[in-house]
Amino acid sequence: MIDIISTDKQYVANTYNRFPVELVSGKGSKVYDKDGKEYIDMGSGIGVTAFGIADTEWANAVSEQAAKLQHMSNLYYTQPCALLAKALCEKTGLKKAFFSNSGAEANECAIKVARKWAAENKGEDCYTIVTLQNSFHGRTLTTLAATGQDHFHKLFKPLTAGFIHTPTNDIEALKNTVNDNNVAAVMFECVQGEGGVIALEPEFVKAIAELSKEKNFLIIVDEVQTGNGRTGKFYGYMNYGINPDVVTTAKGLGGGLPIGAAVLGDRVENVLGFGDHGSTYGGNPVCAAGALNVINRIDDTLLAEVSKKSEYIFETLKNADGIENVSGMGLMIGIKTTKPAAEVVKAAMEKGVLCLTAKDKVRLLPALNIPFDELKWAIDIIKEVAK
């Protein structure tokens, strides 16, 4: 029989430092490797499988659509795309959605919207987009430029011009940056995911909102990871009481199929006109049908459950041996362990729990509907191996 790990190593580009495990199937928050070993999935494909693996309702929505109309050009109307846009707008109060296939592309759209809005409303020399140090916005050359972490930039220059990174949670520095530059937009994650699962301070987010009025720039919130119920609210910004102009999302939106969205508020809903942007696959009927199923199921009951599970994780791990601190929001959790995070993740995996890392932390992004007993079991293992 063909060995998948060695075949992958030989033929797939070396961009992922994969764990030595070949996963073949799963159900909910349980996943199985090729030898039948069971794991509790505390990463959900980096916050993608919002309702777990092979969720029946989601799989039905997707397969019914696949058997009916799997793709059509965006030159025609299709039902899932329109209904998904409507659901996103109704749940956020925003006005229009542009669909893409990934988080990076959703952010590309937001950046194009900000540039065109600023060119038309503030002049063509107003193009600067301010982002935060330690942020992560994607891997395309433009979203890399937006990403405020130098180690991602090395050897890929020149990147797209027009981005400035300001220190996270530093209001004075932010004020100086927006005073000294002709700013089109400020773009940020409410909880920096790849940067180590760090929630922004409410005062800092409030300062961005106040400055955006004073200086007339747009607020773009990157909800690729924090969106779609992950933080215990429908979108992460809803924890902060602000009204963004553009909200980008992906990951959990599709529940396991590639879809991204840039959702546009009333100041920018008509900035993009015919031909200004596009994507062959954007809003694809199968992906949109899956996403619609996900979005329709994120209700107050589920969100309350997310918060309850979050509290349980914080309470259980906060003062445990070998754990220095727990950060994040909802089911987006960073754990600073005394032992190196990679060592803890490896030990947890051997005991049947799949975790992620972010910077020097163990990162957890379980499915929103992970059963409480499976969550408890996984957290006990993490606690034990972190000791």
Interface residue list for ligand PLP (CB under 6 A): 102-104, 107, 136-138, 189, 193-194, 222, 224-225, 250-251
**Alpha carbons 87 and 101: distance in angstroms, whole number:** 18
Q: Which is nearer to ligand PLP, 224 or 261 (CB)?
A: 224
> Is the CB of 137 or the CB of 361 nearer to ligand PLP?
137
Residue 159 class from Cβ within 10 Å (0-12 exposed, 13-18 middle, 19+ buried)?
Answer: middle
Comparison of 250 and 381: residue with beta carbon closer to ligand PLP: 250
Which residues, other chains included, contact 267 with Cβ-Cβ below 8 Å and sequence gap of 6+? 117, 218, 245
> Minimum distance between the CB of residue 230 and ligand PLP, rounded to whole angstroms?
10
Residue number with CB closer to ligand PLP (189 or 245): 189
Give residue 131's Cα distance to chain centre.
16
Q: How far is the CB of 48 from ligand PLP (least distance, A)?
A: 9
Report the residue number, 168 or 385, with the smaller CB distance to ligand PLP.
Answer: 168
Region of residue 116 (phi > 0: left; psi between -120 and 50: alpha; otherwise: beta): alpha
Residue 45 CB, shortest distance to ligand PLP, in Å, is 11
Beta carbon of residue 135, minimum distance to ligand PLP (angstroms, whole number) = 8
Distance CA 92, CA 87 (A): 9
Q: What distance in Å separates the CA atoms of residue 252 and residue 258, rounded to the nearest whole number?
A: 10
- The minimum distance between CB 88 and ligand PLP, in angstroms, equals 17
Q: Report the nearest approach of ligand PLP to the CB of residue 194 (Å).
A: 6
For ligand PLP, give the closer residue by CB, 103 or 323. 103
Nearer to ligand PLP, 128 or 131 (CB): 131
Q: How far is the CB of 153 from ligand PLP (least distance, A)?
A: 15
Q: How far is the CB of 1 from ligand PLP (least distance, A)?
A: 32
Sole residue written with tokens 């529940």: 255
The distance of closest approach from Cβ of residue 334 to ligand PLP in the complex, given in angstroms and rounded to an integer, is 13
Q: How far is the CB of 214 from ligand PLP (least distance, A)?
A: 26
Give the residue with the Cβ less far from ligand PLP, 136 or 323: 136
Of 199, 250, 198, 200, nearest in space to 225 by CA = 250
- Cβ-based nearer residue to ligand PLP, 247 or 313: 247
Whose CB is nearest to ligand PLP? 103
Residue 194 or residue 374: which is nearer to ligand PLP going by CB?
194
